[in-house]
Each structure stands twice: as C-alpha cells, then as structure tokens.
C-alpha cells in the first residue's frame, strides 16, 4: 500500500475508527499524491510559475476568444438538458472529422466514432475499468505522467513496469522499448504511449514511430494481446519535423486482431480549454459488431460513474468546430506563441555555459522540457527557487526537474534558466 494511503488510514483510525472500518478496499488504497498538483500549489504566488500543465501569459490564461465568447451564443437548450452518456451525437461526428483531417492515413471505417469523456483522465480511468485487472502489466516510459500511477496502480492494482526513453546523453531512444517488448513473456500487456510526452516534451520522428510500431507488431505476432493506449493530450503542439499524425493511426493500420489501439484526446490542451472537461475515447477497430459492443460497454461505464458529461462544455466545443474560421486562427496564434517560447528555450538550455549545471532531455513539442540537474537534489532546488527567486518548477525525481515553458513569457525565459543555473551553482557548493 502507498505510504500516503497508510498514513491517511492510520490518522482515520485515530480520529474515527468506525469510519476507518467502513472503508472499502479501494477506499483504503486511495490517497492524494504529493505530485505535480501539490508542487504547483506551493508555487502559486511565484513570479515565474513554470509548474502547471496550462499555457499562460504573465497575467492571464492563453485561450481562444471565440471559445470564450461562445457562452453568450448558446441557447438554453444547448446548456441545460442532459447530454447522452456517449456525448452530443453531432459533436462526436465533428470530432471524428477533425481526427480524420489531421490523420490522412486513418480510415473512418477503422475506428469507432469518438465517445465523449469528462476529459482525458476520465478516459484513462474508463480504459482501466474496461481492460485492467489486478496484476496486469502496464508498461510505461520512466518519464511519464504521475497520474497514471493513481489510476492504474492505486485504483486497479496494475503492475507498472518502466523502460527508459532517453539514453545517458539525454537523447531519445527506442532501444529499451524494443528490448522490453522483445523480452516480454506474458499473454497480455497494456502500453501507454504519450507523445508529445509529459514531462519531457518529446515526440518521435517518423522513423522512430515506425520502430515503435514494428516492435508492437512483433510482440502481438508472438501471441501477446496488446492494449495500446495512445494519450494524445498534447496533440498538435509540434515544433519540429516529427510524426504529426497520431500513433493511434499507425497502430490502427496494423490491422491486427490482438492489438487494440485506443486514442484519448480532447479539447483540454488542444483547444486551450483545461476546465471544460471535454475529451474523447476512440477504438481502432474495423468489425462493426466489435465497435457496437465496445461503445455499449463504455456507455455503461459512463452511465455508472458520471452518468453523462456537461452540456455547456460540449455545446461550446461543438460551436467552435462548426465555426472554424476565426477559431482555427486563434488556436494557431497560441501554438505560434508556444513555438516562439520553445525556440528561445532551446537556444538557452543548450548553451555551453550551463553544461556544469544540467543536461537537457531531447524535446521538440508540447508544454514542457526536462533537465537532469548535476550535483543537487531537485527537491532542494525547487524549494530554493520558490523561496529565493520566486520561480516555480517541478521536481520529478532524484535527478530531474520539469519546466513548463508554456507558462513563461518568451522574454522571461532566459532569466528563468539563468536563475535556475545560479541556484544550482549555489547548492553545488
């Protein structure tokens, strides 16, 4: 059991043993992680808060005006009624059209219509409800989003195994993924493929995607059932020549019965609309009966937890998809703003003067980049940066920190990194 859960249980046994006795097994296992959210909370009043998974300007969030204005356009019927558990039907079609446009290699016949989720985390949990039993193996890169642990390990007792996606020099590598799959012996595996990656901001190139897909194909051909979950939270935020279709497309095109590609995507980051809670789950299957069964099961799962998603948010996303003229240019403007921040970040972090302080992991997309820091404890560094320099970063583990360049104005980026270097040099002494 996680030490945080144990601690909560002990406290409850002292404060109210009767309620401690009432807890279900899941209730006993549950805890609130001391991860990104609590580190973000501690950095809340910093001048440069590079902790959060949003995109911001100095004094406001980065959003699209059309989506902001939409709420005055909606009629009462687009706000107050229930939505069906699977979401507004026309929104599902619009989202599928968007997917097909962005993924020219994807055939509409090879996928289910996207089903609405209460954004991506809900989708992750639905996949776990549907496909993960206690003791099943979940294979993740060592650099992964912390919430996977809460969903898959705490809630579903999956066995999480990790492989490195970076070599000693911080360069992306598929070698360990390929090795891990080549040596994998069990008859079932769940993979989460999250690119652009949180926390490192890396998206594979075409060739790397081809290696990843080939490794999955060989594993499946040796008889392992593969649930290939593609977490596309940061889809579309690409700043270099990378594979810009979804890995879901490449995996769906394998057309293997024992590889089940599942895509989670949504408005959260793609439309700069974190709080709307509009996401989608799609399955890469061709058989019509299979599509029907999967959809019915997901609907049942949704009906039995949130019942249905929020109507105003779904209507808002539907509206902007139906009125793409200005909206698309607003989104592009935001992406361009992030791209400019990315370029500056790249020009700063690889500067030779910082070599004594860190090694950057390859990055080319998304909101974040990560550094392996030399000779200091990331947690100590994090606290010092908050207390002395009013800078918020995330301490990822014993060696790495994450910086959200999505939350630092372009002109402030050199100062932020220079100060991180200064704080490291002070702590190295």
Ligand X SMILES: Cc1ncc(COP(=O)(O)O)c(C=O)c1O
Q: Which stretch binds ligand X (CB under 6 A): 26-34, 114-122, 159-167, 252-260?
A: 114-122
Q: Which stretch binds ligand X (CB under 6 A): 79-87, 119-127, 300-308, 421-429?
A: 119-127
Task: Please state, in angstroms and rounded to a whole number, the distance separating the CA atoms of residues 54 and 366.
Answer: 10
SS3 content of the chain, % helix, strand, coil (to 5): 50, 15, 35
Please count the residues of this chain forming the interface with ligand X, following the rule CB under 6 A.
13
Cβ distance to ligand X smaller for residue 199 or 219 = 199
Cβ distance to ligand X smaller for residue 140 or 254 = 140
Q: Could you tell me which of 285, 288, 209 has the C-alpha nearest to residue 250?
A: 209
CB 412 within 8 A of CB 48: yes
Cβ distance to ligand X smaller for residue 331 or 376 = 331
Cβ distance to ligand X smaller for residue 239 or 280 = 280
Tokens of 180: 């891990």
Helix axis angle for 413-428 and 324-349, nearest 10°, is 40
Contact set for ligand X, span 143-182 (CB under 6 A): 145
Q: Which residues make beta-bridge pairs with 141? A: 163
9, 49, 103, 121: which one contacts ligand X (CB under 6 A)?
A: 121
Cβ distance to ligand X smaller for residue 112 or 198 = 198
Indicate the residue whose CB is closest to ligand X: 119
Query: Cα dihedral sign for 346, 347, 348, 349?
Result: positive
| Residue 151, number of CB atoms within 10 A of its CB | 23
Q: Which residue has the tokens 């002494």?
A: 429
54-to-51, 97, 133, 236, 318 alpha-carbon distances in Å: 9, 26, 32, 15, 22
Cβ distance to ligand X smaller for residue 244 or 290 = 244
261, 279, 284, 378: which one contacts ligand X (CB under 6 A)?
A: 279
Q: What angle do CA 414, 371, 124 make, to 5 degrees?
A: 115
Q: Which stretch binds ligand X (CB under 6 A): 59-67, 217-225, 266-274, 334-342?
A: 266-274
119 makes contact with ligand X (CB under 6 A)? yes
Query: What track of x and - describes contact with ligand X for positions 192 through 231 (by CB under 6 A)?
Result: --x---x--------------------------------x
270 makes contact with ligand X (CB under 6 A)? no
53 makes contact with ligand X (CB under 6 A)? yes
313 makes contact with ligand X (CB under 6 A)? no
Q: Exposure pattern of 19-51 as b/e (b: 16+ CB <10 Å)?
A: ebeeeeeeeebbbeeebbeebbeebeebebbbb
How many residues are recorded in the chain?
429
103, 180, 268, 359: which one contacts ligand X (CB under 6 A)?
A: 268
Task: Please state, in angstroms and rounded to a whole number, the distance separating the CA atoms of residues 413 and 410.
Answer: 5
Q: Which stretch binds ligand X (CB under 6 A): 117-125, 131-139, 167-175, 393-401?
A: 117-125
Cβ distance to ligand X smaller for residue 269 or 384 = 269
Q: Which stretch binds ligand X (CB under 6 A): 1-9, 71-79, 118-126, 235-243?
A: 118-126
Interface with ligand X by CB under 6 A: which residues? Answer: 53, 119-121, 145, 194, 198, 231, 233, 266, 268, 274, 279
């Amino acid at each position: 059991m996680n030490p945080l859960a144990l601690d909560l249980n002990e406290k409850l046994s002292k404060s109210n043993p009767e309620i401690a006795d009432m807890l279900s097994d899941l209730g006993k296992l549950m805890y609130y992680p001391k991860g990104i959210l609590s580190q973000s909370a501690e950095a809340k009043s910093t001048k440069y808060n590079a902790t959060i998974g949003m995109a911001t300007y100095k004094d406001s969030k980065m959003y699209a005006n059309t989506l902001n204005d939409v709420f005055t356009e909606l009629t009462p019927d687009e706000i107050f009624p229930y939505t069906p558990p699977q979401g507004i039907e026309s929104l599902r079609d619009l989202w599928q059209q968007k997917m097909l446009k962005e993924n020219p290699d994807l055939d509409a016949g090879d996928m289910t219509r996207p089903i609405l989720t209460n954004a991506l985390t809900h989708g992750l949990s639905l996949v776990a409800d549907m496909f993960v039993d206690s003791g099943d193996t979940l294979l993740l890169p060592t650099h992964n989003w912390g919430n996977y642990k809460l969903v898959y390990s705490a809630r579903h007792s999956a066995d999480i195994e990790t492989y490195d996606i970076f070599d000693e020099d911080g360069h992306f590598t598929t070698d360990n993924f390929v090795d891990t799959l080549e040596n994998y012996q069990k008859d079932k595996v769940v993979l989460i493929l999250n690119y652009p990656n949180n926390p490192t901001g890396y998206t594979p190139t075409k060739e790397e995607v081809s290696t990843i897909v080939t490794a999955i194909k060989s594993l499946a051909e040796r008889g392992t059932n593969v649930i290939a979950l593609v977490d596309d939270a940061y889809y579309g935020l690409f700043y270099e020549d990378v594979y810009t279709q979804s890995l879901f497309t490449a995996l769906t095109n394998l057309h293997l019965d024992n590889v089940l590609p599942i895509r989670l995507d949504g408005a959260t980051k793609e439309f700069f609309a974190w709080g709307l809670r509009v996401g989608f789950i799609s399955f890469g299957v061709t058989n019509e009966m299979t599509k029907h069964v999967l959809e019915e099961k997901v609907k049942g799962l949704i009906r039995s937890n949130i019942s249905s998603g929020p109507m105003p948010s779904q209507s808002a996303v539907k509206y902007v998809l139906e009125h793409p003229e200005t909206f698309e240019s607003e989104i592009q403007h935001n992406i361009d703003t992030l791209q400019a921040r990315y370029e500056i970040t790249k020009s700063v972090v690889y500067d030779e003067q910082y070599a004594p302080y860190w090694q950057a992991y390859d990055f080319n997309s998304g909101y974040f980049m990560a550094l392996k820091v030399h000779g200091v404890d990331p947690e100590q560094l994090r606290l010092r940066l908050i207390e002395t320099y009013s800078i918020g970063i995330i301490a990822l583990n014993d060696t790495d920190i994450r910086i959200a360049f999505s939350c630092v104005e372009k002109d402030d980026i050199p100062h932020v990194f220079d100060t991180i270097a200064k704080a490291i040099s002070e702590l190295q002494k």
